[in-house]
């Protein structure tokens, strides 16, 4: 492994890997699921509740933190960990996904992306260098290169241009990151590359070769779970992950549903993030061992069972579907807390079970058993 070896593999079961990753604010076990704390907090939870759920690393969005409260405020407050109270591992995305999503109010050039704030319409420019400066100021343990993620579907030329740009930007990010580290490396950040290429295997191969050659501390697969079918996602993932070095963390960005995570772990993915468990909880749906449960539905008005009868979380031990449904109807904040808590716990429990199954060399059995109970949406 390279100069910044952060990943220690404990064992494997087929291609599924069990390891741990150590960064400045601690160690987290892999495969890991990172709940999303867009602007700092995982919405509707406290750090104490995240810890109770067994969360070991949180992902935040540079784009949002840059706009509010501003990366300088966070730097002044001692960095993301001190600012948010989450004194454990963190990762920030680069903002690339967000600014490219602002299609109508952004302009892309080789230099970077000029965009308007979704808050006040003010104009901003993200260049690879600027994005490194911002993520440096925010101070997460793991930061991501500024990449170009194309929408799905993308024609091959658009996808090829994005691969090219992602590579050019990756080099610029790496240069700036090295400059910043040379000035002051007390913070001990790690930079991950991102492989793009949409659904084109030739482009994925090209992007993986380019990104891997830059020898980042970890490698991510971007541009999946953006609208393609599950079969297509699996096909591209299977193709791409083979090209990523086995001795570095492999991170599948923005994925996903429990069944997607199980699939991706089987190919050797170590890290995941997704807004699904938290966002869906706030709109009336939680994940359970028998599948998604739309707890806001009228059918649960008198249902005294917990959200998930097989769950040991603090919410399932104390509160009923009838109560959760009432709280949702009443727009009670407490309901959003309880639903989010359960879903975050559920995802962490899934990862705990996955890790144990890999250690016991029975991952595929576990996956099969899980899916036999779990009704996908």
Catalytic residue among 147, 217, 273, 308: 273
* Distance (Å) of CA 88 to CA 135, 140, 174, 209, 228: 17, 10, 25, 32, 34
Inter-residue contact 283 to 303 (CB < 8 Å): no
Euclidean distance between CA atoms 91 and 188, whole angstroms? 13
Residue 83 CB, nearest distance to a second copy (Å)? Answer: 6
45 contributes a contact to a second copy by CB under 8 A: yes
- Give the DSSP letter string of 137-196: HHT-SEEE----PPPSS--HHHHHHHHHHHHHHHHHHHHHHHHHHHH--TT--EEEEEE-
Options 120, 182, 231, 304; binder of a second copy; rule CB under 8 A: 304
Residue 122 CB, nearest distance to a second copy (Å)? Answer: 15
Q: With respect to a second copy, which residue has the nearer C-beta, 158 or 320?
A: 320
Q: With respect to a second copy, which residue has the nearer C-beta, 65 or 221?
A: 65
The number of residues that bind a second copy (CB under 8 A) is: 42
- Among 105-113, 136-144, 267-275, 315-323, the segment contacting a second copy (CB under 8 A): 315-323
Quote the tokens at residue 155: 């024609």
Residue 323 CB, nearest distance to a second copy (Å)? Answer: 6
Residue 334 CB, nearest distance to a second copy (Å)? Answer: 4
Inter-residue contact 326 to 317 (CB < 8 Å): no
Reply yes or no on whether 93 is catalytic.
Answer: yes
Q: With respect to a second copy, which residue has the nearer C-beta, 5 or 333?
A: 333
Quote the tokens at residue 204: 């994925």
Q: With respect to a second copy, which residue has the nearer C-beta, 201 or 305?
A: 305
- Among 184-192, 221-229, 299-307, 355-363, the segment contacting a second copy (CB under 8 A): 299-307
Inter-residue contact 251 to 269 (CB < 8 Å): yes
Q: With respect to a second copy, which residue has the nearer C-beta, 138 or 358?
A: 138
3 state SS of 30: strand
Euclidean distance between CA atoms 290 and 288, whole angstroms? 5
Reply yes or no on whether 273 is catalytic.
Answer: yes
Residue 70 CB, nearest distance to a second copy (Å)? Answer: 9
* Distance (Å) of CA 335 to CA 283, 325, 332: 10, 8, 5
Residue 333 CB, nearest distance to a second copy (Å)? Answer: 4
In the chain the beta strands, taken as DSSP E runs, fall at 7-13, 16-23, 26-30, 32-34, 58-61, 90-93, 106-108, 113-116, 123-126, 142-144, 190-195, 218-221, 250-252, 271-273
- Among 27-35, 38-46, 152-160, 355-363, the segment contacting a second copy (CB under 8 A): 38-46
Q: Considering only residues 329 through 348, tell me which ones interact with a second copy, judged by CB under 8 A.
A: 329-330, 332-338, 341
281 contributes a contact to a second copy by CB under 8 A: no
274 contributes a contact to a second copy by CB under 8 A: no
Options 81, 203, 261, 327; binder of a second copy; rule CB under 8 A: 327
Q: Which residue has the tokens 């993915």?
A: 269
Options 22, 27, 29, 46; binder of a second copy; rule CB under 8 A: 46
14 contributes a contact to a second copy by CB under 8 A: no
Residue 7's nearest CA partner among 250, 265, 357, 353 is: 250
Quote the tokens at residue 76: 């002044």
Give the active site residues. 93, 273
Residues that bind a second copy (CB under 8 A): 39-48, 68-69, 73, 76-78, 82-85, 301-302, 304, 314, 318-320, 322-323, 325-327, 329-330, 332-338, 341
């Amino acid at each position: 492994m390279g100069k910044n070896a952060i990943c220690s593999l404990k064992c494997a079961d087929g291609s599924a890997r069990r390891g741990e990753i150590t960064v400045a604010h601690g160690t987290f076990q892999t495969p890991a699921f990172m709940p999303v704390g867009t602007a700092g907090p995982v919405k509707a939870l406290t750090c104490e509740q995240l810890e109770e759920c067994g969360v070991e690393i949180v992902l935040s969005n540079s784009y949002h933190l840059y706009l509010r409260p501003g990366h300088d405020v966070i730097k002044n407050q001692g960095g993301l960990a001190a600012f948010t109270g989450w004194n454990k591992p963190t990762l920030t995305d680069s903002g690339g996904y967000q600014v490219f999503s602002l299609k109508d109010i952004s302009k892309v050039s080789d230099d970077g992306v000029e965009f308007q704030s979704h808050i006040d319409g003010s104009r901003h420019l993200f260049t690879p260098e600027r994005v490194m400066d911002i993520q440096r100021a925010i101070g997460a343990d793991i930061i991501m290169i500024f990449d170009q993620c194309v929408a799905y579907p993308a024609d091959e030329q658009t996808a090829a241009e994005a691969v090219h740009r992602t590579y050019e930007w990756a080099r610029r990010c790496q240069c700036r990151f090295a400059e910043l580290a040379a000035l002051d490396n007390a913070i001990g950040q790690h930079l991950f590359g991102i492989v793009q290429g949409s659904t084109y295997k030739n482009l994925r191969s090209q992007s993986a070769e380019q990104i891997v050659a830059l020898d980042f501390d970890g490698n991510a697969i971007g541009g999946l779970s953006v609208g393609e079918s599950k079969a297509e996602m699996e096909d591209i993932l299977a193709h791409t992950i083979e090209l990523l070095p086995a001795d570095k963390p492999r991170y599948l960005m923005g994925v996903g549903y429990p069944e997607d995570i199980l699939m991706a772990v089987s190919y050797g993915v170590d890290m995941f993030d997704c807004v699904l468990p938290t966002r869906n909880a706030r709109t009336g749906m939680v994940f359970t061992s028998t599948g998604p449960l739309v707890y806001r539905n009228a059918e649960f008005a008198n249902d005294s069972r917990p959200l998930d009868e097989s769950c040991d979380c603090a919410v399932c031990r104390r509160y009923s579907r009838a109560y959760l449904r009432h709280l949702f109807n009443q727009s009670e904040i407490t309901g959003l807390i309880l639903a989010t808590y359960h879903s975050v716990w559920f995802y962490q429990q899934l990862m705990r079970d996955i890790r144990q199954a890999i250690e016991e060399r029975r991952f595929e059995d576990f996956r099969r058993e899980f899916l036999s109970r779990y009704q996908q949406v």
